[in-house]
Amino acid sequence: MSAALRAVPDFFYQAFLYREYLKQSVLRDLRIKYKRSVLGYLWTMIHPLAMMAVLSIVFSHIVRIPVKDYAVFLFSALLAWNYFGSTVMMSLHSIRQNARIFSQVPVPKYLAILSISASNMVNLILALVPLLILMVIMGRPLPPSALFFPVLLVPLFMVTVGLSLILAASNVFYDDTYHLTEVGLQALYFMTPVLYHRDLLPAELVRYLVLNPLFCQVEFFRSIFYDGVLPDAQNFALSFAGSFLILLLGLTIFRRTEDKFMYFV
């Protein structure tokens, strides 16, 4: 196995090796996030529900996208997108914010990104509660395909961490990375079928949009909760492979640049 390919198993091995540190780091992130909040962890469920309510009103009543039970259609897609978007943005400053810890504790620097992705994964899982309540209210039974949810978390995690590692490393050297990422995520949001179904787009345009690493991820989440069907095996395998390559690329870039972080933080 080449050094590059060893990066991924080593990444998970280090995560296991420093699991106690990672656990405390995740708990710290969650405590800080809701420290001064009256509702605390309830915001994890209220926030996506509020976003869904606003977007659902706009796109089902004003823009009038022809989709049945649009709230469930939208919420199931927001699960994947919110996890991705929040993790990427929070990871951008993670190296600088943890510079003192890295100088005192000899831990892999990518644990800072891994901690953020893990705490947001907790938020993603908690956000399932309002989705399930919404489905009950709208008279939609929970489909058996929803049991596939844990499997979908794997490629979503890999693509999110991979891109977060690249952008976090870039932001150490170039402050413009933060602003470019904000613009890039906004553009990516509209190129991802969160608000709409791919059938509303020209087939030739979809051929290019599926290259967006979040395109299929969002559709997979929607398929198991809204459509009640498992993702197409071939599409899932391709998405999984692509997510693995993005994680591999992210780890490679991060590990080749991390020795220089100390000169810029």
Q: Cα separation of 162 and 243, whole Å?
A: 8
The set of long-range contacts for 21-25, using a CB threshold of 8 Å and a minimum separation of 24, is 21/105, 21/107, 21/111, 22/111, 22/114, 22/115, 22/118, 25/111, 25/112, 25/115
pLDDT in tens, 103-134: 777 788 899 999 999 989 988 988 888 888 88
Q: Indicate whether this model's pTM tops 0.85.
A: yes
Give the single-character DSSP code of 231: P
pLDDT at 62 over 60: no
Residue 68: pLDDT band (50, 70, 90) is confident
Residue 8 scores a pLDDT above 60:
yes
Coil, strand or helix: which one is 258? helix
Q: Which residues of 73-108 are buried (b: 16+ CB within 10 A; e: fewer)?
A: bbbbbbbbbbbbbbbbbbbbebbeebbeebeeeebb
